[in-house]
Amino acid sequence: MQIHSHRPFLSSSHRTFSLCCGCLLLLILPAVGWSQGQLPRAQQNPLLDPTLDPTIRIVLESEPETTAELVRTLRLLLDLDAARYARPYLQQLMDQQYTDEEYAALIEEFGADTFMEFRLSEEIGPATNAWVSEVFEGAQRHHRSPARIAALIDQLKTGSNFQQAKAISGLSAAGSAAFGPLLGVLKDPAQAEYHPAIRTALARMTVISMYPLLAALESDDPAFRAEIYKTFAQTQAYQAGPFFLRDALSEEAPQIAKDAARGTLRSFRGLVPSQDRAVELLIEAALAFRDQSIALELDDSNMVEGWSWDQSNNSLLMKPMNPRDVYAIWTARLLEDAKVLAPEHPTVQRLYLAAKLEAAQYEAGLGTPVSLTPENQTWLEGVSPELLLQVIENNLSSRHTPAAAAALSVLKEVGSADLLLERTPGLSRVVLAANSPDIRVRLAAMETIAAWNPPEPYPGCSFVLRMANHLMQHNGRPLVVIVDPIRSRAQQLGGLILDLGYDVQTASTGQEGFKFATVNRCQLILVASNVAIPGIELTLSQFRHDPRTYAIPIGIYGKLDQEKYLLNLSERTARSRRILVAIDPPSIEFQIQELLALTPDAWVVLPKEGMEMAERAFAVVAKWSEERTPKYDLKPLISTFEHALFVPQLASSSMKILSNLGTRESQLALIEIAGMDTRPILLRQEAADSFAKSVKKFGTLLTTDEVVNLYDRYNRSEIEPIEVQELLGLMLDAIEEKAKDFAGNQPLTDVPVREVDE
């Protein structure tokens, strides 16, 4: 449909004159501001104004009526900087009712640029934004209409050359919606006479996307695949070449598909590569997708079109997907082809397994261990522990650490504790995984070792315990560490960050800041340029060489006259950025978000998941604390366990560990929690029970004064609830029972008297 003007409009001389006067109007017309989302007020009867510019007068006197005239008038008024006179014409244009076909005709006649100018105009943009969006959406609905696409395909089949060209243009405007119907014709042998025209249309549309055709190559129909290869032969989509190598070189490929694939490769490169070279090309292409170095087109929701072939219905499917998942799909596809051509190739085996494990980890969720489901076991069948260890080793410090985490989850099921001694006296690859910058990999390594339950100490067990301590340091809120020798400045910055919902720890030296950041799990580090002991460069080097802080973003700030030095320093330090010390929360929040964006997506751990990971780490350490012959010395971590007593999600596990430590400090910590009136009664009862278990297992490790204090506390509990009296009595019962055991069940004569009736 076309929209025509039904009356003469401006002549070419008038249009020329309007352009000449445009610059003068910028000087003589007063500025008029329009409120957000409203049209401007027009002057009353502007034609009566004797000072009105002659060009504008000509435009207004033309009295536009049709849609085409209204659009042209608005464009002229914008060009003449006279948008204040546009109100009646704009309102008239927006008040009309349009069909989707008429929306498409508007864009076809005037171009999308015209309507984008309306939207971007400061004067009329706010008022026209919704209407312009409706124009584009309506035009898109028209172009993607199934009835219209079917009509264009019919025109493509039977029309003249000119009609076919117009049909191809219309199908290109339909975009991705046209691929399915076109491929439906191409796969139908009964419509073979139309296949040349269909291939021509699809070849033109590879400019839009080649991925629908690549997805169609997954079809089980070799004749259909041959048609796809012939389509690609009419294009210059050379980057699609690796996807043809499987059919071109596999001994099992049907001859019709093999001949077509080889013919297309010859049209691209002049030859068909050897099998060894084909495997190299497939690995290179797979790594390009894996590293996301091939651009994919994002939509407004930052999603991409995910194409696949439905074997059951023999049809093309498309759904919006996360770009990461689409990259993983094409990576796995290329590596599967390489595996068919070279099933014993060690690099192909490792990369293929890593790609499948990474995809399985994303499907399960980054914080969830991968399980051996029936679907996973189909591609894990025959996988050796050594191959899993290679995947772990090659992905510990890359952006593909989810593959290492998934490999550890699988290794936990198929491996054994002997693997911890694989490189004695060096550290095994599982122990080295506890050194990964990805905290999820460190936790997976811990859980794998705990599941194997090695019978004796192994190289690196103390190192693993240090990483476990770091995993357990979490209270549910993100932490920011500020390293600044000027306390007032650190406190001012910390106050702004506290208002944003973060916990803050300040340090005056680099050494102190490094200790805070490694003992606690922080999300962000801010360092002043004048930090000392050590200086700024050594402090940054420490943060980047320790696995506990390797992935944490660092903000560097200092005086303005140090700008060049600080920028150079941030360029030399991974995941760091020069920041300004802001004095308002919005500014500092913006800079914090920019810093957090420096962390690879696979390494980002939100507070909720961080708490879940701390719970899992405590569960592992609790299991270690129950061992008859301990391999780990947990006593140096008692401050971690005491801190966890005040975190509801971690308190129970911490009490269990403390009851198994067998130290005076651990028993005192349990007594303290049991006696706190501000703690929930159930938690206090659990602490009393844990204390009783500790006394039964290790005896009373308290001093005489501490035991007397406990009796005094019991005797003062007469006015307290019966539950409090009972839990205090439970702890005294445990002490007295153990004392009787040492006294040979003789009556006790040297213990304080209980004055509260039980």
CATH number of the domain to which 587 belongs: 3.40.50.2300
Among candidates 486, 534, 484, 528, which has minimal Cα distance to 505? 484
How sure is the predictor about 348, in pLDDT bands with cuts at 50, 70 and 90?
very high
Residue 342: how many CA atoms within 13 Å on its side-chain side? 22
Contacts of residue 338, Cβ cutoff 8 Å, sequence gap at least 6: 279, 282, 283, 286, 345, 348, 351, 352
Measured between alpha carbons, how far is 217 from 211 in angstroms, rounded to an integer? 10
| 3 state SS of 53 | coil
**Do 219 and 187 meet the contact criterion of CB atoms below 8 Å apart?**
yes
Average pLDDT, the chain: 85
- For residue 35, what pLDDT is reported? 38
Cβ(179)–Cβ(212) under 8 Å? yes
Q: What is the pLDDT of residue 47?
A: 62
What are the φ and ψ backbone dihedral angles of 507, each rounded to 5 degrees? Answer: -135, 145
Give the pLDDT of residue 33: 38
The whole-number average pLDDT for the span 638-648 is: 91
Do 735 and 615 have their domain in common? yes
pLDDT at res. 403? 93
Inform me whether the pLDDT recorded for 3 exceeds 80: no
Which range, of 39-43, 348-352, 433-437, 726-730, averages the lowest pLDDT?
39-43
State what percent of residues in the chain have pLDDT above 90: 39
Q: Which of 97, 124, 143 is the last residue of a domain?
A: 143
SS3 sequence, 398-444?
CCCHHHHHHHHHHHHHHCCHHHHHCCCCCCCHHHHHCCCCCHHHHHH
Q: pLDDT, tens digit, for every residue of 450-482?
A: 999 998 889 988 888 888 888 888 776 788 999
The CA angle 243-245-248, to the nearest 5 degrees, is: 130
Give the pLDDT of residue 654: 94
Q: Are residues 502 and 595 both part of a single domain?
A: yes
**pLDDT at residue 392 in the model:** 94
Identify the domain boundary among 423, 439, 455.
455
388 is a domain residue? yes
Q: Same domain for 230 and 264?
A: yes
| Distance separating alpha carbons of residues 430 and 446, to the nearest angstrom | 9
pLDDT for 345:
94
> Does residue 4 register a pLDDT over 70?
no
pTM above 0.85, yes or no: no
Name the band, by pLDDT with cuts 50, 70 and 90, for residue 41: very low
Start-to-end C-alpha separation, the chain: 95
Cβ distance 421 to 458 under 8 Å? yes
Q: What are phi and psi of 508, to 5 degrees?
A: -95, -15
- Between β-strands 315-321 and 304-310, what pairing exists: parallel, antiparallel or unpaired? antiparallel
Indicate the range of 138-142, 189-193, 626-630, 640-644 predicted with least confidence: 626-630
Window from 83-87, 367-371, 419-423 with minimum mean pLDDT: 83-87
Residues 317 and 364 in one domain: no
pLDDT over 50 (residue 115): yes
Average pLDDT of 359-379? Answer: 84
Q: Is the pLDDT reported for residue 749 higher than 70?
A: no
Residue-level pLDDT at 744: 56
- Residue 495: the pLDDT is 87
Lowest mean pLDDT among 20-24, 140-144, 361-365, 597-601: 20-24
From residue 161, alpha-carbon distances to 26, 156, 175, 200, 207 in Å are 50, 9, 21, 12, 21
For 609-621, the pLDDT digits (tens) are 888 989 999 999 9
Determine the pLDDT at residue 29. Answer: 36
Region 590-611: what's the mean pLDDT?
A: 81
Assign 523 a pLDDT band (cuts: 50, 70, 90). Answer: confident
Q: What mean pLDDT comes out for the span 700-725?
A: 87
Q: How confident is the model at residue 404, as a pLDDT?
A: 94
Please say if the pLDDT value at position 258 is more than 50: yes
* 442: pLDDT strictly greater than 60: yes
Q: pLDDT at position 256, please?
A: 96
pLDDT tens, residue by residue, 206-246 = 888 999 999 999 999 999 999 999 999 999 888 999 999 99
Amino acid letter for position 471: L
Higher pLDDT: 186 or 35? It is 186
Asked whether residue 326 falls in the same domain as residue 351, the answer is: no
Looking at the fold, whether 320 and 370 belong to one and the same domain comes out as no
Judge if 587 and 658 occupy the same domain.
no
Task: Identify the pLDDT of residue 716.
Answer: 85
Residue 500 burial class via C-beta count within 10 angstroms: exposed 0-12, middle 13-18, buried 19 and up: middle
Say whether pLDDT at 295 is over 60.
Answer: yes
Total number of domains constituting the chain: 5
Distance between CA atoms of residues 708 and 613, nearest Å: 40
Residues in the chain, how many?
758
Tell me, yes or no, whether 180 lies in a domain. no
Rounded CA-CA distance 265/274 in Å is 12
Asked, for residue 748, whether it belongs to a domain, the answer is no
Flag whether 226 is in a domain.
yes
Q: Give me the domain span that covers residue 683.
A: 608-742
Please indicate, yes or no, if residue 154 is contained in any of the structural domains. no
756 pLDDT band (50/70/90 cuts)? low
The secondary element (H helix, E strand) that includes residue 504 is strand 503-507
Question: What is the predicted pLDDT for the residue at 715?
Answer: 87
User: Does residue 757 form part of some domain?
Assistant: no
Flag whether pLDDT at 9 surpasses 50.
Answer: no
Is there a single domain that holds both residue 613 and residue 738? yes
Q: Give the residue with greater pLDDT, 750 vs 438.
A: 438
Claim to verify: residue 315 and residue 363 sit in the same structural domain: no
Q: Is the pLDDT of residue 651 over 60?
A: yes
User: Which of 18-27, 132-141, 191-200, 288-297 is predicted least confidently?
Assistant: 18-27
**pLDDT score, position 682:** 92
Cβ pair 754, 711 in contact under 8 A:
yes
Domain-located, residue 465: no
Instruction: Please give the Cα distance from 272 to 264 (Å, whole number).
Output: 9
Confidence of residue 40 (pLDDT cuts 50, 70, 90): very low
* Residue 152, domain member (yes or no): no
Strand partners, 315: 310
Residue 27: pLDDT over 60:
no
pLDDT value for 525: 92
Q: What is the DSSP string of 218-230?
A: T-S-HHHHHHHHH
| Residue 299 clears pLDDT 50, i.e. is over it | yes
The predicted structure's pLDDT at residue 14: 41
479-483 and 576-578 beta bridge pairing:
unpaired
Cα→Cα distances 25→11, 31, 75, 263, 470, Å: 20, 11, 15, 64, 68
Claim to verify: residue 589 and residue 665 sit in the same structural domain: no
**From CA 283, how far away is CA 293, in angstroms rounded?**
14
Contacts of 696 (CB under 8 A, 6+ apart): 734, 737, 738
Residue 288 has pLDDT above 50, yes or no: yes
Residue with tokens 């349009």: 98
- The verdict on 294 and 364 lying in the same domain is no
Q: Which of 278, 303, 333 is the last residue of a domain?
A: 333
Identify whether residues 577 and 593 lie together within a single domain.
yes
Quote the CA–CA distance of 593 and 571 in Å, as a whole number.
18
HSE (CB half, 13 Å, CA atoms) of 630? Answer: 16
